[in-house]
Amino acid sequence: MSRKYNTYLDRNVNIELFAKSLQRDLQNDNYKVELTKFSKDSLGSNSGYMIRLEKNSKFRKIVGAREKFEITIEGDPNNLDICVEMEDKSKNILSTTLTSVPVGAMTFGLGTMAAVGANLYSQKRLKNSIWNRINENIDLNNFA
């Protein structure tokens, strides 16, 4: 999985409201979203939220280009750690390449290269979109 971390300091974020507003925002953007609260200790004092999301459609299933992310939110209102993990795309790139073989063969490989490039661009664009939504929701739930 591809991972990226970010720490938000001195923002006084209501973590529960942030997680729920991010969940709602992603659902409005046609992601399948699952929000789970977790605790790292038996007292429940070190808790956080896990958001699992998937961008899926019939076309994405056919070409194997489903986008799956996990967002982990931990810390306290003034020291918030967020990690976004993206599913390893090597399987999706391979399946996109395999579905492009007939086109690639007819165009001497250009179709195959274009399909792989488009898949990589789509992955970067979606990851940037997730971080933009996180930053917007941090700003909305900042009570400092």
Asked if pLDDT for residue 142 goes beyond 60, the answer is: yes
Q: What is the mean pLDDT of the chain?
A: 77
The number of distinct structural domains making up the chain is 1
On whether the CB atoms of residues 71 and 134 are closer than 8 A, the answer is yes
CATH of the domain at 127: 3.30.310
Which of 65-74, 83-92, 135-144 is predicted least confidently?
83-92
Contacts 24+ apart (CB under 8 A), 38-47: 46/74
Asked if pLDDT for residue 6 goes beyond 90, the answer is: yes
Provide the residue range defining the domain that includes 12.
2-140
pLDDT at 131: 92
Q: Kindly report, residue by residue over 9-60, the tens digit of the pLDDT.
A: 999 999 999 999 999 999 998 889 999 999 876 665 678 999 999 876 665 5
Q: How many CB atoms lie within 10 A of CB 124?
A: 10
pLDDT at 24: 93
Which comes out higher in pLDDT, residue 57 or 100?
Answer: 57
Instruction: Return the C-alpha torsion angle 42, 43, 48, 54, nearest 10.
Output: 40
Confidence of residue 71 (pLDDT cuts 50, 70, 90): very high
